[in-house]
Amino acid sequence: MVHASLSMQDYLALSLLMKIHRLLYLVLLISLSSCYYNSRLVYLQDQHFSEFSPTLLQNKKAEVYRLQPSDILSVLIKSPTETEASNAIFNVASRPGGMFATPGNLFLEGYTIDNTGRISLPIIGEMMVKGLTIEEAQHIIQTGAEKYLSKATVIVKLISFKVTVLGEVKSPGYLYVFNNQATILETLGMAGDLTPFANRKNIKLIRQVTGGSQVILLDLTDPKLLSSSYFYLMPNDVLYVEPLKARVKRANLEILGVIFAGLTTGVLILSYVNQN
């Protein structure tokens, strides 16, 4: 039965708009169904993987990171033959148990490598560390410390190991890695994993190198990633996870839904005005 305030023509127009509106949402549901589940969402796909025997994929060793200007080092120097007060002279600060070791505190208390590649240590003075590995930097600082301390022990850590994850992840932003290395899977796990609309076949890795930036595309669905030299991330790497086309299509459908809802409301308002 047609409502008394609507003409037959208005009613037919409204009915058509409602059908189109329902059709759009039906298309949306179909586009988001599990028909693309296996091909787009699953990591490290390989038909040869077996539940009965492991598949060996040879890893390439992670590239050795060499220190650069603006890196921040934690340097701890101690000698068992010296008093606690004497040891403290060679250190910026010491915090029992590493309490309250936030990235901000580590930045304030660490040694920043300057533009010339040097750090300045109490008593020992300036040390050139640019281009060295962590182990090599620890060795030369050890040599410098032994000039003043007997049986000196030196521990050097890189505390500015951070990566940036952007795009279709649940928690984008800076991630601090308190480890000597991190894989791309570990890093994405720290970012809360990818969203269902992330393009797992086209992850952009941006790496700063001498003279510019490198950009490499990584495919998380390909198990060969485990053998790639880019499987291990380096300090200051950036990962950008672009959206699937389905994400864009969904946004477009939602916009169309809003438009048609507005048209429906407009028809009702016009019908009411015409009747009055």
Q: What is the pLDDT of residues 76-85, one digit of tens each?
A: 999 988 888 8
Domain 44-49+161-243 indexed as CATH 3.10.560.10: yes
Q: Identify the CA nearest to 273 among candidates 16, 2, 7.
A: 7
Write down the pLDDT at residue 184: 94
Write down the pLDDT at residue 34: 45
Share of the chain above pLDDT 70, in %: 64
138 or 261: whose pLDDT is higher? 138
Task: With cut-offs at 50, 70 and 90, classify the pLDDT of residue 244.
Answer: confident
82 or 276: whose pLDDT is higher? 82
Distance CA 8, CA 3 (A): 9
Answer yes or no: is pLDDT of 253 > 90. Answer: no
Contact 169, 194 (CB under 8 A): yes
For the stretch 221-243, pLDDT in tens is 888 898 888 999 999 999 999 99
How large is the average pLDDT for residues 53-75?
Answer: 82
How large is the average pLDDT for residues 206-231?
Answer: 89
253 or 63: whose pLDDT is higher? 63
Write down the pLDDT at residue 209: 82
Domain 72-158 indexed as CATH 3.30.1950.10: yes
Separation of first and last alpha carbons in the chain? 21
Task: With cut-offs at 50, 70 and 90, classify the pLDDT of residue 57.
Answer: low
For the stretch 150-174, pLDDT in tens is 888 999 999 989 999 999 999 999 9
Write down the pLDDT at residue 81: 84
Answer yes or no: is pLDDT of 95 > 70. Answer: no
Distance CA 101, CA 108 (A): 11
Distance CA 156, CA 142 (A): 10
Task: With cut-offs at 50, 70 and 90, classify the pLDDT of residue 2.
Answer: very low
Q: Which residues of 87-117 are buried (b: 16+ CB within 10 A; e: fewer)?
A: beebbeeeeeeeeeeeeeebeebbbebeeeb
Distance CA 274, CA 276 (A): 5
Residues 6+ apart with CB under 8 A from 260: 17, 20, 21, 24
Write down the pLDDT at residue 73: 94
Answer yes or no: is pLDDT of 75 > 70. Answer: yes
Write down the pLDDT at residue 46: 62
Write down the pLDDT at residue 64: 86
How large is the average pLDDT for residues 175-204?
Answer: 91
